[in-house]
Structure 1
Amino acid sequence: MRYIIIGAGAIGATIGGRLDGAGLDVVLVARGAHARALAADGLRLTTAGGERLHRMPVVTDPAELGELRPDDMLFLTVKTQDAIAALDAWGDAEVAGGGTAAQRLPVLCLQNGVESERLALRRFARVYGACVWLPATFLEPGAVSALCAPLTGILHLGRAAGGTDARVRAIAADLEKAGFGAAVVEDVMRWKYAKLLGNLGNAIQATTGPDPAPAKGALLLRAIREAKAVFGAAGIAHASEAEQSAARDGKVEQPAGVRGGSSWQSLARGTGSIEADYLNGEICLLGRLHGVPTPVNETLRQAANIFAREGLPPGSMSIEDLTALTDEAAARA
C-alpha cells in the first residue's frame, strides 16, 4: 500500500514522515514554498526522539504522479476549508486499470471537526474517518515538530458511515508500526464529535494567545455548554471524557513550552484562512437547525475569521475584550 498524504502540513507531514521512517511507501502533497523546501531538502521532522531528515516524493497535484496505483491510500490532511478543492482534484485522478480515484480508491479524513467526512462521502465511494490527537507544529517551510511521547499521537479510525473493515485494520497496523496509537472503532464520528468540544477553544487561542488563563478556560466552558446543548437537541452521541482520558493519558504527553495549536499556526503563517467555520461554526449550524442559541460560538467564529481575513497577528486580542463581545452577543440572543 502506498500512502499519498494530501496536505503535508503539521499533521500530514508528521504522519508521512513517521510512516516513511517505518519503511512504508509515502508521497507528500504540498504547495508553495513548503513544497519547494520538501522537494529540495527533504522533511525535517522533529519528534521526541530527535530530528530526522526524510526524503520522500513530493508533488503539488495528481498529474505529477501519472496514473494512480490500485493500492494507493489517500490521506486527506488539508484543513477542512481546503478539503473540497483537494477532494475534487484527487477524486478525478485516473487509476491504472480504469476508473477514477473517487470510484476506486479509499480516502481517510484526518481533520478537526466532522464536515470532511460528509464532503468526501459526496465524492468518494470509500471514505474513512480519523479522530486525531497529534499536537504538531508547522511554522516554516520544510520543518515540522511533533514532540509527544511515548507515542507521537493517537488516532481512532473507522468507516465514515460506521463500522470497520480489513482495510482500516491494515492502516491501523501501519500507523502503530510508525509510532502511533491506532484504535479501530465501530463509530469513529462519536470520537470526532468528542474532540470537537475541545477544538472549540482553537478560536480563543488563536485570537488571545496560547498561554493558559482562567478567563480563557471559563469562555471555553461556555462554548462547550452550548455545544452539548445542541448535541442533545440533535441526538448526537460523543465519547465521554473518561473514555478519552483512558485512551490518551500517559501515552501522548507533550513537553512544556510548545506553542499554539492548528488555528493559531494558521494565523502565524498568514495563510488567510482558518478552520473556525467547521469548529465553532458546526455548533452554530446545529443550533440553527434545532433552535438552540449559540452566541458564544458565533462570536468566536466571527472573531477568528476576522483575524484570518485581515491578517491580524495571533494573540493580539485580550481575553477581556473577547469575553465582552460574547457577553454582548449572549444578551442579544
Structure 2
Amino acid sequence: RLPLVCAQNGVENERLALRRFREVYGMCVVLPCSHLNPGEVVAPCGPNTGALVIGRYGTGPDDTARRIADDLEKARFLAPVAADVMRWKYGKLLGNHANVVEAVCGSASDGAARDLVARAQAEGAATLDAAGIAYASGPEITELRGGTVDPQPIPGQRARSSSWQSLARGAGSIETDYLNGEIVLLGRQHGVPTPVNAALQHAARESVRQSREPGGLTAEELSRRITAGVTG
C-alpha cells in the first residue's frame, strides 16, 4: 500500500517494482556526489544539492508525487514533477554511458576515452530510436541543473561517477549491466548492433571479477577489444 520511489540509475527498477507495489514512482537522479568511505557522503553542489525529477511510473504525475517533491525541495533539492519521468531516465541512461569508461580506464576525459563514450552513446541513441523510446537530450538535462545544481569545488575532492566509485570501494558489483547492458538488450531485441556497449559491459564485469581498481585497462586496449569482437 505504500508508494515506492525508484531512485537508481537505469530503467529496469520501475517495471520490476510494479509487480509488487501499486504506486511506483520513477526518479531521475542528477546528484553529483561521492561515497568512498563508510558514513561519509560528499555532495559538492549548490544552491541545490541535486535535481530529482519525479513522476508516477506509467501514468504521469499525481498528488503523491507532488507531496514528495515539496518535501525534497524543502531539503534543498530541485524536484520537478514530470508527466514523462521515464523519458528523463532514458536521457540520463545515455549520459551514464561514460560511467563504465571512467571506471575501467580511470578517466573518460582523454581523446581515446572520449571517443569510446561518443561511440557508446551513438549506439545507445540509435537503439532507443529503433525501439521507439523517447529520451531527454543532453542539453535538456544540462539546462535542468544550470544555475541551480552547480559544482562548488571542495579541496582534495574530485567528482567521480557511481561506477568508478563501485570499483574504488571494491563493492563487488557494478551497475553497468543496467546501463550499457540495457542498450545491448534493446539492440538484440530490435536488430541494432551494439559492439561498443557489449565490450564495455564485458570489461566492467571483468574488472569486478578480478577486483581491479579504476584504471585497470586503457581506452586503447578497450578499442582493440571492440575491433577484435571481445564482448563476453
- TM-score normalised by the shorter chain: which range applies? over 0.9
Partner of 1:204: 101
For residue 142 of structure 1, the aligned residue among 14, 39, 42 is: 39
| 2:73 aligned with 1:176 | yes
When the two structures are superposed, what TM-score results if normalisation uses the length of structure 1?
A: 0.66
**Match runs of 1:27-66 below 5 Å:** none
Given residue 141 of structure 1, which amino acid in structure 2 is its aligned partner?
P
C-alpha contact 1:280 1:300 (8 A) present in aligned 2: yes
Q: Higher relative contact order at CA 8 Å, sep ≥6: structure 1 or structure 2?
A: 2
| 2:79 counterpart SS class | strand
Partner of 2:128: 231
When the two structures are superposed, what TM-score results if normalisation uses the length of structure 2?
A: 0.94
Q: Return closer, same or farther for 1:239/1:294 CA change in 2, 3 Å cut-off.
A: same
CA distance in 2, matches of 1:143, 1:242: 31
For residue 199 of structure 2, the aligned residue among 288, 299, 318 is: 299
Partner of 1:244: 141
The range that moved more, 308-317 or 275-284, is 308-317
Partner of 1:109: 6
Shift of residue 255 of structure 1? 4.1
| 1:315 counterpart SS class | coil
Partner of 1:316: 216
Partner of 1:222: 119
CA distance in 1, matches of 2:55, 2:174: 26
C-alpha contact 1:296 1:329 (8 A) present in aligned 2: no
Measured against aligned partners, the alpha-carbon deviations of 1:17-70 in whole angstroms (never above 9, x if no partner) come to xxxxxxxxxxxxxxxxxxxxxxxxxxxxxxxxxxxxxxxxxxxxxxxxxxxxxx
| 1:149 counterpart SS class | strand
| 2:179 aligned with 1:279 | yes
Runs (5+) with no aligned partner, structure 1: 1-103
CA distance in 2, matches of 1:292, 1:255: 40
CA distance in 1, matches of 2:152, 2:226: 32
Given residue 51 of structure 2, which amino acid in structure 1 is its aligned partner?
I
CA distance in 2, matches of 1:249, 1:240: 14
| 2:160 aligned with 1:260 | yes
**Where is the strand percentage greater, Structure 1 or Structure 2?**
1
Measured against aligned partners, the alpha-carbon deviations of 1:103-133 in whole angstroms (never above 9, x if no partner) come to x111000011101111111221110000000
CA distance in 1, matches of 2:5, 2:183: 23
CA distance in 2, matches of 1:163, 1:185: 7
C-alpha contact 2:45 2:150 (8 A) present in aligned 1: yes
C-alpha contact 1:133 1:154 (8 A) present in aligned 2: yes
Runs (5+) with no aligned partner, structure 2: none
CA distance in 1, matches of 2:150, 2:107: 17
CA distance in 2, matches of 1:148, 1:161: 31
Q: Looking at CA atoms only, which structure, 1 or 2, has the larger radius of gyration?
A: 1
Measured against aligned partners, the alpha-carbon deviations of 1:232-287 in whole angstroms (never above 9, x if no partner) come to 11000011233222211222222455142111111111111101100000000000
